[in-house]
Amino acid sequence: MLAEIITIGDEILIGQIVDTNSAWMAKQLNLIGVSVKQITSVSDEEQHILEALAQAEKRADIILITGGLGPTKDDITKKTLAKYFNMGFRNDAGALEMVRQIFEKFKRPLLDVNIQQADVPDGCEVIVNRNGTAPCMWFEQNDRIFVSMPGVPYEMMYLMDDEILPRITSRFKLPAIVHKTILTASIGESFLAKEIEEIEDSLPAHIKLAYLPKLGQVRLRLSAKGDNETDIKTEVEVYAKKIIAKVSKFVVIDEDIALEKAILNIMKEKGLTLSTAESCTGGYIAHLITQHPGCSSVYWGGAVAYAYELKESILGVKENTLTTFGAVSEQTVTEMAEGAIKHFKTDYSIAVSGIAGPDGGTEDKPVGTVWIAISSKHKTVAKVFNFSNKRIQNIERSAASALTMLLNLLKETV
Amino acid sequence: MLAEIITIGDEILIGQIVDTNSAWMAKQLNLIGVSVKQITSVSDEEQHILEALAQAEKRADIILITGGLGPTKDDITKKTLAKYFNMGFRNDAGALEMVRQIFEKFKRPLLDVNIQQADVPDGCEVIVNRNGTAPCMWFEQNDRIFVSMPGVPYEMMYLMDDEILPRITSRFKLPAIVHKTILTASIGESFLAKEIEEIEDSLPAHIKLAYLPKLGQVRLRLSAKGDNETDIKTEVEVYAKKIIAKVSKFVVIDEDIALEKAILNIMKEKGLTLSTAESCTGGYIAHLITQHPGCSSVYWGGAVAYAYELKESILGVKENTLTTFGAVSEQTVTEMAEGAIKHFKTDYSIAVSGIAGPDGGTEDKPVGTVWIAISSKHKTVAKVFNFSNKRIQNIERSAASALTMLLNLLKETV
């Protein structure tokens, strides 16, 4: 079973927004055994949308479309779908009722343009959108399914979770798709490939291996497709174990979860607590951790200490340390990490201080110089990194490195 | 001049990574006057890549391709390009030298597989990639340009900035493209459309208006294309001014910059400082602010106070307040904001405390209940919001609302 995703909207093509919908949808589809053949982003232009639909219909069984369903003039998806399927329009009672309820909830008068949101191509099935005024529409033609959803992420997510995915699973006998991910650090892609060459060459045709480098780490992904989920899972596990055994010292985790989630799992199990003391990462590490539900049993919080004053007042870094060695130094980052343990009373802490750039570099400490320290109550490990001259990347790489260091210390000590 | 972007990689189609490259490239292309017709993500599969190339060649003048250039077996882009252009291979001396230098820098032995990275289709021009071992390749055929770049974001970004974009601008006479964005808050998309209906109807054909709703805000974007940049800029400004005048009380900023960047600009100009006290947003607001270069002259830092203990110890929230009213209350969030002003010694502060979910809700305070307070030295404004039951969205909407509240207070008081 193949799907295609078509996202409609000029805002994607001018780069004003990043299309995060597609990745989310692709992940959900893969989980139920539907492979995504292609993701296509097109403009709010009738001819172009028609072409994209026709091409997708040739390649895929299910075509999921988002965007262009708003009440305003730049939204032409509905009109274009009616044209594609050669349909007229009807005003859908169920969709209209939902629009009415939403406007009533926000105590706003219903405008004509909102009533028109319940106008749908007359051959489609309406799936009520409980979180917005644009109805979701389900079309069938030549054994293909087309679903048009709003582009607003949370409206699309609810519709997928509650309606679209259950309908697909109940209607089709889907193959099992199994992915197994192994996250490695401190080894380059080609060295890794060389190390596991024999295992890779021995893989059967229905198991694929992919290398995904990111932020100084390489994710290895084994993917298999088959009829029996248990069988292919077992088979994939055999190869995963071989790979892990071969490159064990570089393996960070063998699950497709974020690094910080792996840390939270370990710490929660052991009843350990964590705090952060961030300078150049500016709250990014805290944000990564607090994205995860249930993090509060491990993560107590921390400081974003951008200014010298806050490094002193919240973390207890000595003024003398800052003036003698500078904010970006082993001494400062060590005092930050140990200060976090002391003041926030947690078992472990992460501290980062660096020059994210683009300005602020010196000859001694160019942009991209980052000191990271990890403390437990008994030990502090500090390390310096030299990243790039791009700010966002330096923040992301610092966070990834800090989390890797913490995970290593945890593995050593707990 | 039309461009298409093709991103190659199974990791996109299984939803393992979000394709952020395309949005970045699209933005840069639009800035130099190249419109992006389509963005297509395809799998690491020869036949599929060949089809995508052929279709893109029909629609666009420039085809930018990323991904699939690594040294490992799943990377087939180079081989496929050679097939598409019917070319043999050569080992490129310049590309090989760069690979050598990179391995020397990291003191690693050069493997055969790395030497092979300098093998390129013999009819292409190699553009040296200074940040990685995969060379960038430039092809021309039937008046079309094809550029193949690595998918690693920073390698692609350097290549685009330093090589590809300058080549495109110097070679073609490009039309000017002007975008003007107006960010509005506290008004729904359809009401906004109704308010500015007459202005929208009066727009000339070469100026388009788009509505981009996100996180309780609507971005209005006027886009125009023409020969003379000054002329169309002036023309777009006229319509932008009309729109702003018509819906002035809902206008947050009239620039396409992030909300926090607008705040940083105002505060920097007035010499004001800011701190944050975050509970449920968990450092996300700090992260948004510290993404921006130069933020340190305004932003001093703050606390991520997840645990009660940290709300008390870092921010000085009274234990009694927490036990009487709870962490998610007007009283607590007010003390957090005022505590930030007092302890971090800044002119303004932002405090957020809420239930991000999915757990932790009660009948009184369901998941999505968020209290936000903004303090200056003279005034505290606190407000409660009721968002959704999705964690990430609650974090994002809380941050957007907090920043909007701060901007409003700044506009009132400075």
Instruction: Enter the pTM of the model.
Output: 0.82
Note down the domain range covering B302.
259-413
**Nearest-CB residue to B304 (from A36, A291, A301):** A301
Rounded to whole angstroms, the Cα distance separating A144 from A84 reads 13
pLDDT at B130 over 90: no
- Residues on chain B touching A395 (C-beta within 8 angstroms): 290-291
pLDDT at B70 over 90: no
**Angle, helices A46-59/A77-84, rounded to nearest 10 degrees:** 50
Across the interface, whether the CB atoms of B113 and A40 are under 8 A apart is answered no
Structure tokens at B17: 């990574």
How many angstroms away from the CA of A140 is the closest CA of chain B? Answer: 24
Asked which of A253, A272, A290 is the last residue of a domain, the reply is A253
DSSP class of residue A181 equals E
- CATH of residue B240's domain is 3.30.70.2860
* Co-location of B291 and B406 in the same domain: yes
Q: Which residues contact A104 (CB under 8 A, 6 or more apart)?
A: none
Q: A316 burial class (0-12, 13-18, 19+ CB within 10 angstroms)?
A: middle
- Residues on chain B touching A388 (C-beta within 8 angstroms): 131, 154
* Co-location of A106 and A221 in the same domain: no
Across the interface, whether the CB atoms of B15 and A28 are under 8 A apart is answered yes
Rounded to whole angstroms, the Cα distance separating B371 from B58 reads 53
B354-383 pLDDT tens trace? 999 999 899 999 999 999 999 999 999 999
Structure tokens at B226: 């023409």
- Residues on chain A touching B14 (C-beta within 8 angstroms): 26-27, 30, 36, 179, 223
Highest mean pLDDT among B100-109, B151-160, B213-222: B151-160
Asked which of A108, A143, A171 is the last residue of a domain, the reply is A171
pLDDT at A105 over 80: no
Across the interface, whether the CB atoms of B39 and A44 are under 8 A apart is answered no
Rounded to whole angstroms, the Cα distance separating B44 from B42 reads 7
**Mean pLDDT across the stretch A225-254?**
94
* Co-location of B365 and B402 in the same domain: yes
First to last CA, chain B: 45
- Mutation target to probe the A interface, by most A beta carbons within 10 A, among B306, B308, B311, B403 is B306
pLDDT at A215 over 90: no
Residue of chain A whose alpha carbon sits nearest to that of B208: A74
Q: Tell me, what's the pLDDT at A389? A: 80
Tell me whether B208 touches chain A (CB under 8 Å): yes
Across the interface, whether the CB atoms of A301 and B284 are under 8 A apart is answered no
Q: Find the range with the poorest average confidence among A8-12, A275-279, B37-41.
A: A8-12
DSSP class of residue A250 equals G
**Nearest-CB residue to B210 (from A11, A219, A345):** A11
pLDDT level of residue A66 (50, 70, 90 thresholds): very high
Across the interface, whether the CB atoms of A13 and B38 are under 8 A apart is answered yes
* The residue type at B280: C
The ipTM, to two decimals, is 0.82
Across the interface, whether the CB atoms of A16 and B48 are under 8 A apart is answered no
A255-297 pLDDT tens trace? 888 899 999 999 999 999 999 999 999 999 999 999 999 999 9
pLDDT at B133 over 90: no
The more confident residue out of B132 and B49 is: B49
Q: Tell me, what's the pLDDT at A380? A: 97
Phi-psi region of B368 (alpha: psi -120 to 50; beta: other; left: phi over 0): left
* Co-location of B299 and B246 in the same domain: no
Give the CA angle between residues B324, B327, B329 to the nearest 5°.
75
Rounded to whole angstroms, the Cα distance separating A40 from A56 reads 9
Across the interface, whether the CB atoms of A27 and B11 are under 8 A apart is answered no
Q: Tell me, what's the pLDDT at B139? A: 98
Asked which of A253, A284, A319 is the last residue of a domain, the reply is A253
pLDDT level of residue A302 (50, 70, 90 thresholds): very high
Q: Tell me, what's the pLDDT at A132? A: 86
Element of type H or E holding A304: strand A299-305
Rounded to whole angstroms, the Cα distance separating B220 from B251 reads 10
- Residues on chain B touching A160 (C-beta within 8 angstroms): none
- Residues on chain A touching B287 (C-beta within 8 angstroms): 282-284, 286-287
* Co-location of A236 and A333 in the same domain: no
Rounded to whole angstroms, the Cα distance separating B149 from B152 reads 9
pLDDT at A106 over 80: no
**Angle, helices B391-413/B259-270, rounded to nearest 10 degrees:** 30
* Co-location of B239 and B272 in the same domain: no
DSSP class of residue B381 equals E
Instruction: Please state whether beta strands A176-185 and A89-91 pair in parallel, antiparallel, or not at all (unpaired).
Output: unpaired
Q: Tell me, what's the pLDDT at A25? A: 97
Length, in residues, of chain B: 414
* Co-location of B274 and B312 in the same domain: yes
Q: Which residues contact B245 (CB under 8 A, 6 or more apart)?
A: none
* Co-location of B279 and B130 in the same domain: no
Structure tokens at B372: 């936000």
User: Which residues 267-296 of B are in CB contact (within 8 Å) with A?
Assistant: 275-276, 278-287, 289-291, 293-296
How many angstroms away from the CA of A307 is the closest CA of chain B? Answer: 5
Nearest-10 Cα torsion for B151, B157, B162, B164: 50
- The partner residues of B69 in beta bridges, in order of sequence, read none
Tell me whether B114 touches chain A (CB under 8 Å): yes
* Co-location of B147 and B276 in the same domain: no
> Total domain count for chain A?
3
Instruction: Please state whether beta strands A369-376 and A348-354 pair in parallel, antiparallel, or not at all (unpaired).
Output: antiparallel
Length, in residues, of chain A: 414
Tell me whether B313 touches chain A (CB under 8 Å): yes
* Co-location of A320 and A271 in the same domain: yes
Q: What is the DSSP string of B28-61?
A: HHHHTTPEEEEEEEE-S-HHHHHHHHHHHHHH-S
- Rounded to the nearest integer, the mean pLDDT of chain A is 93
Q: Are A36 and B32 in contact (CB under 8 A)?
A: no
Q: Which residues contact B344 (CB under 8 A, 6 or more apart)?
A: A309, A310, A313, B275, B300, B301, B302
The more confident residue out of B111 and B346 is: B346
